[in-house]
Amino acid sequence: MKPFKTVTADAAEQLIADAKPLILDCRDLKDYRAGHIENAMHVHEQLRDSLLKKGDKARDMLIYCYYGHASEHLAEMFCDFGFKQVYSLAGGYAGWKEHHKPTGDL
Ligand SMILES: O=S(=O)([O-])[S-]
């Protein structure tokens, strides 16, 4: 069984509204800059490492990538480091946009 949870765009939107998770975008920086889920942070290696070491393990964390594959790997890594509430967005940012969810697009 996966140590993290996979959420649909609808469930992720609800999660964001209810739990105010830390939102991590693990796509390329240029794609993040072109548009991302509101309040998402771009995860570069340094941020990832510092979160793994010092992040709040009890806080909900929502991770997304392009289509929902890379985020699963990252989600698993956070779980391995003891994070308790890790979610991966199924379908990634592509799915999010397809469902017409709000973005911080410029
Ligand atoms: O970002 S991706 O791994 O889903 S192609």
- Mind listing the pLDDT tens digit for each residue in 18-58? 999 999 999 999 999 999 999 999 999 999 999 999 999 99
CATH of the domain at 94: 3.40.250.10
Distance from residue 65's CA to the centre of ligand 1 (Å): 6
Position 6 scores a pLDDT of 98
Nearest CA to ligand 1 atom 4: 67
Q: Are 83 and 57 in contact (CB under 8 A)?
A: yes
Binding-site residues, ligand 1, Cβ < 6 A: 65-70, 92
Position 44 scores a pLDDT of 94
Atom of ligand 1 nearest to the CA of 70: 3
| Number of domains comprising the chain | 1
pLDDT digits (tens, 9 = 90+) for 47-106: 999 999 999 999 999 999 999 999 999 999 999 999 999 999 999 999 999 988 888 765
pLDDT digits (tens, 9 = 90+) for 85-96: 999 999 999 999
Distance from residue 27's CA to the centre of ligand 1 (Å): 8
**Does residue 57 belong to any structural domain of this protein?**
yes
The SS3 assignment for 84 reads coil
Position 101 scores a pLDDT of 81
**Cα–Cα distance list, 29 to 32, 38, 45, 81 (Å):** 5, 15, 12, 25
Enclosing domain of residue 30: 5-99
Active site residues: 65
**Does residue 68 belong to any structural domain of this protein?**
yes
**Does residue 106 belong to any structural domain of this protein?**
no
Residues with Cβ within 8 Å of 10's Cβ and at least 6 positions away in sequence, in order, are 99
Site to substitute for ligand 1 among 24, 71, 88, most atoms within 8 A of C-beta: 71
Estimate the share of the chain in helix, then strand, then coil, as percent rounded to the nearest 5.
Answer: 40, 15, 40
